[in-house]
A and B are shown apart, each in its own frame.
Chain A
Amino acid sequence: DGGITQSPKYLFRKEGQNVTLSCEQNLNHDAMYWYRQDPGQGLRLIYYSQIVNDFQKGDIAEGYSVSREKKESFPLTVTSAQKNPTAFYLCASSIVTSSYEQYFGPGTRLTVT
């Protein structure tokens, strides 16, 4: 079955540590996205990538970094510079040239204490 996988489902880290969230898709989609979700705030775009080896900052990129070395993979690193990293993180993908609809992974809940 085609889809998007995110791992792990739950992640716990100590403050000051960097942590990397995994996102893999086998939909052959060109574009991939990372969103952060906090209660009552909807989805906020962190980073997005249209093609391999290229990515752009979204609305809340500070304290985060990404890479896109393969079409299938778009890992997100939450750095120690992110002031409030505890949140639910969603990865998505889409076909760039049509439809605009996004396909979402199941999410990773990150808790930093």
Chain B
Amino acid sequence: AQSVTQPDIHITVSEGASLELRCNYSYGATPYLFWYVQSPGQGLQLLLKYFSGDTLVQGIKGFEAEFKRSQSSFNLRKPSVHWSDAAEYFCAVGEEGSYIPTFGRGTSLIVHP
């Protein structure tokens, strides 16, 4: 079964600084990979996804992620963080044939002015 690790529980950045949130997965074949964002008290919104093809994926709100098979990673990046990006971020992995993804425990992003 697949598993997902988000090693950082909290990340604090200054507004305007760059951001990288880490995600590592465990799965034998090529996984389906997702990043979701959750504002406080709200549901999750899909930021971006990777199924195949170009390993650098562009998403909404200026986010991107890169799939690195050799490192089993799918890190989320943003070149310049805005205060409105403060939220909880979840990485998820799915496998072909199973439509139920496994979610990481989330990383809470704090943005300082």
Contact of A101 among B9, B46, B104, B106 (CB under 8 A): B46
A109 proximity list for chain B (CB < 8 A): 41
Q: Is B71 an interface residue (CB 8 A)?
A: no
- Nearest CB of chain A from residue B74's CB, rounded to whole Å: 14
Nearest to B4 among chain A residues (CB) is A42
Q: A90-B43, A106-B42 are in contact. Are A45 and B100 (CB under 8 A)?
A: yes
Q: Is A64 an interface residue (CB 8 A)?
A: no
Contact of B106 among A42, A90, A92, A100 (CB under 8 A): A42
Is the beta-carbon distance between B45 and A48 smaller than 8 angstroms? no
Contact of B103 among A43, A105, A106 (CB under 8 A): A43
Q: Is A31 an interface residue (CB 8 A)?
A: yes
- How far is A31 from B60 in the complex, measured between Cα atoms in Å? 24
Q: A42-B105, A100-B94 are in contact. Are A90 and B41 (CB under 8 A)?
A: no
Q: Is A96 an interface residue (CB 8 A)?
A: yes
Rank and list the top 5 A-B pairs by shortest CB-CB distance, nearest first: A104-B43, A42-B105, A104-B44, A43-B103, A100-B94
The contact sample of 21 A-B pairs, CB cut-off 8 A, is A31-B99, A40-B9, A40-B105, A41-B105, A42-B103, A45-B100, A50-B99, A88-B41, A92-B44, A94-B99, A96-B99, A99-B49, A100-B32, A100-B99, A101-B34, A101-B46, A102-B46, A102-B101, A105-B43, A106-B43, A107-B43
Query: A-side interface residues toward B, CB under 8 Å?
Result: 4, 6, 31, 33, 40-43, 45, 48, 50, 58, 88, 90, 92, 94, 96, 99-107, 109
**Given A99-B51, A100-B99, list of 15 further CB < 8 A pairs?**
A31-B99, A40-B106, A41-B105, A42-B90, A42-B104, A43-B103, A45-B100, A92-B43, A92-B44, A100-B34, A100-B101, A101-B34, A102-B46, A106-B43, A107-B41
